[in-house]
Every structure is written in structure tokens, then in C-alpha cells.
RNA sequence: GCUCCGGUAGUCUAGUCCGGCAAGGAUGUGAGCCUCUCGAGCUCACGACCCGGGUUCAAAUCCCGGCCGGAGCACCA
């Protein structure tokens, strides 16, 4: 088959699942957006959602915006803006336009004034608790009846600094008894006295999410919004705000439940809890779902993309992906690219008597010759993995890969002693990896596991495996992913030392 | 508590709107082939429509009830 019609084999893969068509979408008429809040590091959930928006824009020859939802000056930080930009770029997402919601403050103020003049917004000076209580009850407060002129005046006061933080907000005249509680006169603007990383100290009255988003989605001409379902209830509010402002075009909303992975919470709170216990030190820890974390671990952006396309759906049901689903894709993509190297974890000495001194040339990949080869010298003293040593039986003949056969004659705490037993490759011999004793280097591999097990923090989420490796390992570049044979795919994580992180088997 | 929304193999997903498949795919697990890796590839096998009623010749699909799960109920996004 491979020889007669190799194209058939590849065709089958190309037929894999594709993204379903977008409702009401036309070629060239689709505009989507990446709407990160720069209040934390980008993680895999953002990546998958971003990919969906990007892939659809691409599928329909449309456009995509990168728009930072940065209207809470107290939460946003410059490093987080960067985290998202870097993350999107890493994924291969190219955006056509970029802006920050905080760029449009003057415009937000204009629309606010417009609403006030229409009698559709009012300044409320009730204490927060009172507002909450009344909203829950579905009852209006006295401020709702203020006249337009009075509201205009109070709004001016808000902008001018006549009110302190928490003393006044601008509210929408919604429907105080609406079943969808987001419509019960939601706050549109609040006062925050805190410098903004992008806008500095210029503003103290900041719009809230729904107001900013409704306007920005219109201004950007967004046609389709793909987002997680916690926003589902806001569609109605956002459409309503636009209708009041004469913006008669709403995006199509497609919502789905969060993308979660087993044992790996995405929430800042839970991740920070792990950092606080000291179990992890940085946000780019390879056990973390942050983009920097999974990148360090050796997950390729192509894998995340393929995973998003093939394993995902627009389901509202709670889901928890098993990491093995992603790993399988990553492994398949890595397999033809990764160099094979010998690494012997928990090493044990192996002495082979009567072994000839040899220099052999071993290919870096069984099929891909273009990946080259390296030379290994053998004298008769080796290190092999502790596990292989343990499994050996006296009298058994084993094959040192690419080298020779050896018959086990003795096992002790010192190691294994064997006798040279021929050069030919024989079927049915156990093949093991080895490292020349005189030419071995120390290798350390960090093996990430689940952060949480059965809802509890897993104290052993990161194991360290040490052993000896062949000298060629020193030549592995920082960031390169190789396969330590019969151990797994590992990414070099340190330039100066041979420290690796295991991605998966 | 209130309001929405969901439940297809261990996991993810297609099918549900417009009833009629042996309920498809992926991953996982087991077996075999291939291979100088326990990787990749190939073959086979295992495994699911939450429960109970109803409508119908026929229900994963439509209706009702229950159970379980998720989201929202901010001067966060």
C-alpha cells in the first residue's frame, strides 16, 4: 500500500474532522475578535477560544480583532497584555486590527451622555449593598426618577471628581423586574481612582464590561462572537444597549462551556494557591495550563490547534479533557521530528566481559535519515537503566541497541555482569538503551503530573528523574524536543545544564 | 434560593433542529503484525445514548416527570 499508493495514506488523515460551518456566515463577511482581559497570564483555555475565533475568521476570509478588555485599571498590568500577544503569536494567530477598550474612553462618555439625555441612564448614589438588595427584590430606588438635567449635572460631577470611589455610579434604565437579572438597571460606569497602565491618570470614571463590549463590538463590526458560556446571559443586555444607541447590528453569539483539563485548574485563585504552598514557583511551571507552562513542557502550538479542531465541540455540558487526548496529537506531530537519544534513568553499571572495543554510528531517527547520526564508543563498561537491570534474569541474553548482545551472568548491588554474546541482531532479544561508562553525562528530567488529584492538591505533581545520558545530549539545543528512547519526549529546559522536562511518553 | 442551560463508551466528540444507522470518529485499554525504542505505523477486539413514563409502526432524536451536572444572579471580565 505504502509503495503502490502512498497518497492514499495521507489523504485519510486530511479527511479528519473539520470545524462545523458558522451560522449566517459569508465569505469575506466574517469579523471575529480576541477579547482578553489583561489581568493574568494567558492559558490554554484562552488559546483554544482564541483559535476558534481565528480559525473561523480565516475559514471565511474574514478579519479578526485583538481587543483588550481593560476597563478595570486595578486589575490590568502591562505584562499581561504582553502575555496574550506573545501567546497568540506563538499559536500562529495573526490579527488584522488591534485596540484597547481603554483607548475609547471619550467615546464611551459621549454614548453615556446620549443615554442620559434619552432618559435611559441615571446616576445612583445608593450604597452598594442597597443596590444589590433592591436588584434582588426587583425594586427601583429613588434615583431612578431623577430628571434628565439633574442626571446630566451629577454625571458631570462624577467626571469632575465630585464623588469619590463607590459614591456614585451611572445606571441603565433597564427592567428592574426582568427575569434576566443582568437587565435590572445594571451599572454602566463606576469610579476608580487608580492609574491605568495604558491611560494613566486621565480617567476616574470607568465603563463596565457590558457597556464597553456592546459598543466596541459594534464599532469593530464584529459579526460572530465565540465565547465561553458564562457570558450567555449578557447577550440580551448587550443587544439592548446597542438598540438604545441606534446600533442596529448585533453579532451572532456562539457559546460553549469552558475548556478544562483533568487535574489542571485554570483559575488564578487555584493556581496561586499552588504557588503559595511552594509546590511551584513560577507561572510558567510545566504543570500549569499557562501558555508559557505548556510551551515549556513541550506541547506544540500545532497540537493545540489540531486538538481544538478535532476534539472540541460547542457543548454546554461540563467537560474535562484528559491530557492523553492532547498528548496523542503532540506525539504524532513530534514523532517524525524528534531526535532519538539514549538516556538511562536510575542508572546501574553493566560490565560486559570479552566485549570488543567499538565505535558505532547510531542514527538519530529510525526513519528520518536527514536527522543525522552520532558516534558512540563502547569498551565494555556501561550504564543501563535501573529498571532494565532489575528485570534481567541470569542467563538471559539482551541486546544493547545498535551494539551487541550480552548474556547476563551476575546481578548484585554493584551492578550487572554479563558476557559478550555476539554482534548479530537476533529476533526476540530484549533491546535496551545504554550509555558508555566513560563518556556519560548527568541528565535530570522533570516529570510533570496532575496538580490536583481527587480535588486535593497533589503534593507529588512534579517528580525528578536523574540518570546518565550519552554525550550527544549536551548538544541538544535549549527548547529542542527529543525522545529519550523508551522513556518519552523531553524538552531541554536549561542552556547550561542537561535539564529536561518530560512532555509525555 | 432564584433564573437559564446541559447529560452519547474511562475521556472528548458526531448524530438531536427535520424521529427510522450495525449509534460514527478520536483517545484509552487488550491482542497481533511491523520495527535494532515499551515511540510511530498497520490489523483486530473491548466499551455509550442518565432514569422512568408517554406519543409513534418506529425514539439517542419529540413530550412529561425525576436524578445528576454546569453557568449566571458584581460598582470583575
Residue-wise pLDDT tens digits, A106-127: 999 999 999 999 999 999 999 9
Portion of chain A with pLDDT greater than 70, in percent: 97
pLDDT digits (tens, 9 = 90+) for A266-287: 999 999 999 999 999 999 999 9
**DSSP state for residue A489 in the 8-state scheme:** E
Task: Give Cβ neighbours of residue A41 (< 8 Å, ≥ 6 apart).
Answer: A80, A83, A283, A290, A291, A292
Closest CA to A49 of A60, A64, A28, A71: A64
What is the per-residue pLDDT for A120?
Answer: 97
**Using the CA of A135, which nucleotide's C1' is the nearest one?**
B73
Would you say residue A499 has pLDDT above 70? yes
Q: Which residue has the cell 433597564?
A: A174
Distance between the alpha carbon (CA) of A488 and the C1' atom of B37, Å: 10
* Nucleotide nearest to A338 in CA–C1' terms: B39
Q: Report the pLDDT value the prediction gives residue A454, as an integer from 0 to 100.
A: 82
In the predicted structure, residue A6 carries a pLDDT above the cut 50:
no
Give the confidence band of A11 by pLDDT, cuts at 50, 70, 90. Answer: very low
The 10s digit of each residue's pLDDT in A72-90 is 999 999 999 999 999 999 9
Whole-number distance in Å between A229 CA and B63 C1': 27
Rounded to an integer, the average pLDDT of A117-143 is 95
Residue A103 pLDDT: 97
Query: What is the rounded CA–CA span in Å between residue A104 and residue A429?
Result: 71
Average pLDDT over residues A476-482: 97
CA of A502 to C1' of B32 (A): 30
What ipTM was reported for this prediction? 0.94
Segment A404-420 mean pLDDT:
94
Give me Rg for the CA atoms of chain A: 30
Round to whole Å and give the CA distance between A299 and A294: 6
CA distance linking residue A286 with residue A43, whole number of Å? 12
Task: Measure A130 CA to B40 C1' (Å).
Answer: 64
Per-residue pLDDT, A154: 98
Q: Is the pLDDT assigned to residue A191 strictly greater than 90? A: yes
Closest amino acid to nucleotide B40 (CA–C1'): A335
Q: What percent of chain A has pLDDT over 90?
A: 94
Cα separation of A263 and A259, whole Å? 13
Question: Where does the pLDDT of residue A18 fall: very low under 50, low under 70, confident under 90, or very high at 90 and above?
Answer: confident
Strand B: which nucleotides have any atom within 7 A of a protein Cβ?
3-8, 10-15, 25-28, 35-42, 69-77
Question: Which residue is the nearest neighbor of B71, CA to C1'?
Answer: A230
Q: CA-CA distance, A107 to A249, in Å (whole number)?
A: 18
How far, in Å, CA of A24 to CA of A13, rounded?
A: 29
Q: What is the mean pLDDT of chain A?
A: 94
pLDDT in tens, A225-260: 999 999 999 999 999 999 999 999 999 999 999 999
Q: Is the pLDDT of residue A318 over 80?
A: yes
pLDDT tens column, A352-389: 999 999 999 999 999 999 999 999 999 999 999 999 99
- The predicted pLDDT at position A3 comes to 30
Whether the predicted pLDDT of A194 surpasses 80: yes
**Cα(A199)–Cα(A73) distance, integer angstroms:** 9
Name the residue among A339, A327, A377, A333 with its Cα closest to residue A504. A327
Active centre residues of A (catalytic): 37, 258, 268
**pLDDT grade for A133, boundaries at 50, 70 and 90:** very high
Out of A10-14, A291-295, A342-346, least confident range: A10-14
Which residues lie below 8 Å from residue A413, measured CB to CB, with a gap of 6+? none
Centroid of chain to Cα A480: 19
Contact A346, A391 (CB under 8 A): no
Residue A234, CA distances (Å) to A183, A184, A229 in order: 8, 12, 10
Residue owning grid cell 504543570: A287
Least Cα distance to A124 among A114, A137, A134 occurs for A134
Confidence of residue A413 (pLDDT cuts 50, 70, 90): confident
Q: How far, in Å, CA of A378 to CA of A356, rounded?
A: 8
Q: Which residue is nearest to nucleotide B7 (CA to C1')?
A: A317
Q: How many CB atoms lie within 10 A of CB A270?
A: 14
Q: How far is the CA of A104 from the C1' of B69 (A)?
A: 40
CATH numbers and ranges of domains, chain A: 105-207 (3.90.800.10)
**Nucleotide B11 C1' to residue A394 CA (A):** 42
All three cell numbers of A370 = 536527514
Q: Closest nucleotide (CA of A315 to C1')?
A: B6
**Is residue A156 scored above 80 in pLDDT?**
yes
The pLDDT score that the predictor gives to residue A455 is 83
User: Nearest nucleotide to A192 by CA–C1' distance?
Assistant: B75
Residue A16: per-residue pLDDT? 56
Q: What is the predicted pLDDT for the residue at A9?
A: 34
Amino acid at each position: 500500500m505504502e509503495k503502490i499508493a502512498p497518497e492514499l495514506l495521507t489523504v485519510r488523515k486530511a479527511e479528519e474532522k473539520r470545524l462545523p460551518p458558522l451560522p449566517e456566515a459569508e465569505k469575506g463577511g466574517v469579523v471575529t475578535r480576541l477579547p482578553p482581559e489583561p489581568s493574568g497570564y494567558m492559558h490554554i483555555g484562552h488559546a483554544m477560544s482564541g483559535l476558534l475565533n481565528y480559525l473561523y475568521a480565516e475559514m471565511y476570509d474574514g478579519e479578526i480583532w485583538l481587543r483588550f478588555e481593560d476597563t478595570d485599571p486595578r486589575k490590568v498590568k502591562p505584562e499581561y497584555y504582553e502575555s496574550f500577544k506573545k501567546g497568540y503569536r506563538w499559536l500562529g494567530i495573526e490579527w488584522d486590527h488591534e485596540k484597547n477598550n481603554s483607548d475609547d474612553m471619550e467615546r464611551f462618555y459621549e454614548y453615556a451622555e446620549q443615554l442620559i439625555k434619552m432618559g435611559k441612564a441615571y446616576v445612583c448614589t445608593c450604597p452598594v449593598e442597597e443596590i444589590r438588595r433592591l436588584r434582588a427584590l426587583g425594586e427601583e430606588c429613588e434615583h431612578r426618577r431623577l430628571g434628565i438635567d439633574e442626571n446630566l449635572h451629577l454625571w458631570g460631577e462624577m467626571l469632575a471628581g465630585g464623588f469619590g470611589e463607590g459614591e456614585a455610579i451611572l445606571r441603565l434604565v433597564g427592567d428592574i423586574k426582568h427575569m434576566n437579572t443582568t437587565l435590572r438597571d445594571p451599572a454602566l460606569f463606576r469610579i476608580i481612582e487608580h492609574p491605568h497602565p495604558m491611560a494613566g491618570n486621565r480617567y476616574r470614571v470607568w465603563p463596565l464590561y457590558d457597556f464597553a463590549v456592546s459598543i466596541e463590538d459594534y464599532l469593530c463590526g464584529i459579526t460572530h462572537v465565540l465565547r465561553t458560556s458564562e457570558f450567555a446571559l449578557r447577550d440580551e443586555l448587550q443587544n439592548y444597549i446597542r438598540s438604545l444607541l441606534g446600533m442596529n447590528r448585533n453579532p451572532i453569539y456562539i457559546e460553549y462551556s469552558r475548556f478544562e483539563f483533568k487535574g489542571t485548574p485554570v483559575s488564578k485563585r487555584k493556581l496561586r494557591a499552588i504557588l503559595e504552598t511552594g509546590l511551584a514557583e513560577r507561572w510558567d511551571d510545566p504543570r500549569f495550563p499557562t501558555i508559557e507552562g505548556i510551551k515549556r513542557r513541550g506541547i506544540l502550538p500545532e497540537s493545540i490547534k489540531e486538538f481544538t479542531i478535532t476534539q472540541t465541540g460547542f457543548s454546554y455540558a461540563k467537560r474535562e479533557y484528559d491530557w492523553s487526548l492532547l498528548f496523542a496529537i503532540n506525539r504524532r506531530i513530534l514523532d517524525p521530528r524528534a531526535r532519538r537519544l539514549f538516556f538511562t534513568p536510575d542508572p546501574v553499571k553493566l560490565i560486559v566481559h570479552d566485549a570488543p572495543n567499538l565505535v558505532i554510528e547510531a542514527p538519530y531517527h529510525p526513519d528520518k535519515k536527514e536527522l543525522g547520526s552520532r558516534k558512540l564508543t563502547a569498551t565494555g563498561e556501561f550504564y543501563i537503566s535501573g529498571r532494565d537491570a532489575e528485570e534481567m534474569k541470569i542467563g538471559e541474553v539482551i541486546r544493547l541497541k545498535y551494539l551487541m548482545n550480552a548474556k547476563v551472568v551476575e546481578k548484585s548491588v554493584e551492578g550487572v555482569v554479563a558476557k559478550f554474546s555476539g554482534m548479530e541482531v537476533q529476533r526476540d532479544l530484549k533491546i535496551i538503551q545504554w550509555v558508555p561508562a566513560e563518556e556519560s553525562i548527568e541528565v535530570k528530567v522533570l516529570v510533570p503530573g496532575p496538580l490536583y488529584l481527587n480535588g486535593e492538591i497533589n503534593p507529588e505533581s512534579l517528580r525528578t528523574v536523574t540518570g546518565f545520558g550519552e554525550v550527544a545530549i549536551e548538544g541538544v539545543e535549549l527548547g529542542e524536543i527529543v525522545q529519550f528512547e523508551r522513556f518519552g519526549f523531553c524538552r531541554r529546559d536549561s542552556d547550561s545544564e542537561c535539564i529536561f522536562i518530560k512532555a509525555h511518553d
